[in-house]
Chain A
Amino acid sequence: MERIYLDHAATTPMHPKVAERIFEAHNINFGNPSSIHSFGREARHLLDQARETLASSIGAKQNEIIFTSGGTEADNMALLGIAEGYQQNGKHIITTQVEHHAVLHTCKKLEKMGYEVTYLPVDETGGISIDVFRASLRDDTILVSVMYGNNEVGTLQPITEIGQILTDHQAIFHTDAVQAYGIENIDVNKSFIDLLAVSAHKINGPKGTGFLFARENVKLAPRSFGGDQERKRRAGTENVPSLSGFREAVLISQAEREIKRKNFKQFKEAFMNILKEQDVEFSLNGTLEYSLPHVLNLSFPGTNVESMLVNLDMAGIAVSSGSACTAGSVEPSHVLVAMFGKNSERLINSIRFSFGYNTTEKQIVTAAEETAKIVKRLRK
């Protein structure tokens, strides 16, 4: 049975060129970039190259990139670092109800520390309202954290509009771009972004690697202490091989972005067309208009996600229900709850299909047909 991987929003396969680059760096460029000898210099050179590529990928400067262990650490660093760094200006934070838990759970922690957090609601497409956002802004708001594109339903938020509004407000603007980076064309200057979190493993790079963009003039209190790495904002010997691989992944994603965007949009349409042809009742969670091209979240009335996921897995099709669940706890997706309310049927019958590197049209057809078959069987 050919297995079909349609869970690229969870993680992606590493691109062979990336793997090669990492292997090589581990073998040859193993030096510590802080060392003064030739080994150290070689590693430092790779690190600088990575920093340069990552910075330019979002229109940032080199000294604005802080390497991290991934998106979660970058989000944590942004929120906790700004909250601490700007506490004398106020204790109010604005975020949304549909953020990744890396942001939401950090906000919960901040609430316990005495900060006040406003969680912006979303409409049925998953988007926030700019008017509601504007009305939520206060003089003591120090941080606004709104994700770029949603990991469960793909909805893009009005990032540039938020950034624009904040140009004459003290609040620092952070965006979690983990799911959007690599597929969306992100420019931190055009969108007035102060902080931005990215993860490598979502774009065919290595796991355990990411970065936080932090604008030069932003006061970010450090979260780890030790050596002078990352301008004392993140101590610890840099993961040079992974960062070198991350760079490779970014270069590839830049070269392939437009063709991927085009293909993935077609995949979405093809997938839904097949379901329609097969007379399968479904509805889209989110929107096709302002959405990440690679994330498709569908609701299948009359089915149950637990049966759907297992049946699809047994048919060799790897998908997910949005947020990962553990030990059988079906925590309903907080994103779908925010969009449809906590009593919606969609909470228990929605599946996320997400595309990526090496997803083919043929796989989409097979997956859609297999999905149709399973839905029909379960509805009996």
Chain B
Amino acid sequence: METKDPKHTRVVVGMSGGVDSSVAALLLKQQGYDVIGIFMKNWDDTDENGVCTATEDYDDVIRVCNQIGIPYYAVNFEKQYWDKVFTYFLEEYKAGRTPNPDVMCNKEIKFKAFLEHAINLGADYVATGHYARVDYRDGEYKMLRGLDENKDQTYFLNQLSQEQLKKVLFPIGELEKSRVREIAREAELATAAKKDSTGICFIGERNFKEFLSNYLPAKKGKMETFDGEVKGTHDGLMYYTIGQRHGLGIGGSGEPWFAIGKDLKRNVLYVGQGFHHDMLYSDAIIANKISWVSNKEKPAEFECTAKFRYRQEDHKVTVRLLDNDQVQVIFHEPIRAVTPGQSAVFYLGEECLGGGTIDKVFKNSEMLTYVG
């Protein structure tokens, strides 16, 4: 890996106005890089009063960049975001699946459109405030989990390739979140005490149901048990995720109720009692759109661990390569609430191998048609 004098190495930092990217920029500046902060505007959420969270976030970027002493700019990817991320997001919901727009945003926007923009500005690297690490070993780039296990974001970065990782720095990947806050406080950065953003970026703190109903027609329907017993009414299948407990509003005695499956044709939400309801468990999947971090050839079958949703613990699995960027993943133990549309991400120890989208879910070799 070539190394250049930091002073002559230009790093464009994607700054969101949050504490993580603020500290990422600060650390790079302290390491002597030629740092530029860029705010990406991907979504226009201007409300009827003309207030837009992007304006406030950009104000924070400006304050922080001036504190650090780096130039700042903004770039607009609203069109790309709409075409590549939001359209996909809606399509997946329409198909009864549960999409992961953050994975798509990293793949199409942050590490594609933004990376290209940065290179047009003469950048040697782009950096972000993600909790992940990049290492160069055995002649290739590896993506490693962030050292703060609780914050590790490789799940969302699973689609990154060698070409992308070659150009990427994750300055806070070596740090615990608490240390990031501490650094921000010590440097008195304007964002030191700013609340972490939660939820999907374009929805923000708003009500998810209300947001989605602006774009997709919601159709109320029945909530049923697998035995056909009607337990109530749902507000629209897209509002429910497999394994979810809240928002069902089914009372009565016994264990709490959970969303277990969907019948798109009949517009029925299947519900069942108990966190460990048998129907919530599966033992294998087919995942598609697989992207491996390494370009090296993989064995036709190998063992590793996997996550099927963000912040889930690792599960032991066997991966079998199939044609057309697909894999079969066999779980060593049944796993709860594996949901089509979400990412399946593979790990070997601290290394993230890559991932894909959960397409089909199986139990005892039978495809579970009710999970979406």
A307 contact from B40, B55, B57, B120, Cβ within 8 A: B120
A-B contact pairs, 30 of them (CB 8 A): A306-B73, A306-B76, A307-B117, A309-B73, A310-B121, A311-B120, A311-B121, A311-B122, A313-B71, A313-B73, A314-B36, A314-B121, A314-B122, A325-B74, A326-B55, A326-B58, A327-B39, A327-B41, A327-B52, A327-B55, A327-B57, A327-B58, A327-B59, A328-B40, A328-B54, A328-B74, A328-B76, A329-B44, A329-B76, A330-B76
**Which residue in chain B gives the minimum CB-CB distance to A307?**
B120
A165 beta carbon closer than 8 Å to chain B: no
Complex CA gap A316/B179 in Å reads: 36
Total contacting residues, chain A, CB less than 8 A = 14
The residue on B at minimum CB distance from A326 is: B55
Q: Measured between alpha carbons, how far is A328 from B76 in the docked complex, in Å?
A: 5
**Contact indicator A310/B76 (Cβ below 8 Å):** no
Q: Which residues of the other chain, A, contact B74 by a CB distance below 8 angstroms?
A: 325, 327-328
* Known A-B contacts A310-B73, A313-B71, A314-B71; A329 and B121 likewise in contact (beta carbons under 8 Å): no
A residues contacting B by CB (< 8 A) are 306-307, 309-311, 313-314, 325-330, 378
Chain A interface mostly: helix
Measured between beta carbons, the chain B residues less than 8 angstroms from A313 are 71, 73
Q: In the assembled complex, which residues on chain A have CB atoms less than 8 Å from the CB atom of B55? A: 326-327
Whether B216 sits at the interface, judged by CB under 8 Å, is no
The 10 closest A-B pairs by CB, nearest first: A328-B74, A328-B41, A327-B58, A327-B55, A330-B76, A328-B76, A307-B120, A327-B54, A310-B73, A306-B75
Interface of B is mostly: mixed
Q: List the A residue with the shortest CB-CB distance to B75.
A: A306
Instruction: Write out, one digit per residue, whether chain B residues 117-132 have a CB within 8 A of any chain A CB (1) or not (0).
Output: 1001110000000000
Check A306–B58 contact: CB distance below 8 A.
Answer: no
**A-side contacts of B75, CB under 8 Å:** 306, 328
B23-58 contacts to A, CB under 8 A, are 36, 39-41, 44, 52, 54-55, 57-58
- The size class of the interface chain B forms with chain A is 20 to 34
Cα of A319 to Cα of B360 in the assembled complex, Å: 54
Which residues on A sit within 8 Å (CB–CB) of B76? Answer: 306, 328-330
The docked-state distance in angstroms from the alpha carbon of A95 to that of B32 is 53
A286 to chain B, nearest CB (A): 25
Residues of B within 8 A of A328 (CB): 39-41, 54, 58, 74-76
Chain B residues, CB < 8 A from A325: 74
Not counting A310-B36, A310-B121, A329-B41, a sample of 4 additional A-B residue pairs whose C-beta atoms are within 8 angstroms of each other reads A307-B117, A327-B39, A328-B40, A328-B76
A326: B residues at CB distance < 8 A: 55, 58
CA–CA, A326 and B40, complex, Å: 12
CB distance from A4 to the nearest CB of B (A): 16
Q: How long is the Cα–Cα vector from A329 to B77 in the complex, in angstroms?
A: 9
Quick check: A307 and B41 within 8 Å, CB to CB?
no
Residue of B nearest to A327 (CB): B58
When C-beta atoms are compared, the residue in chain A nearest to B42 turns out to be: A328
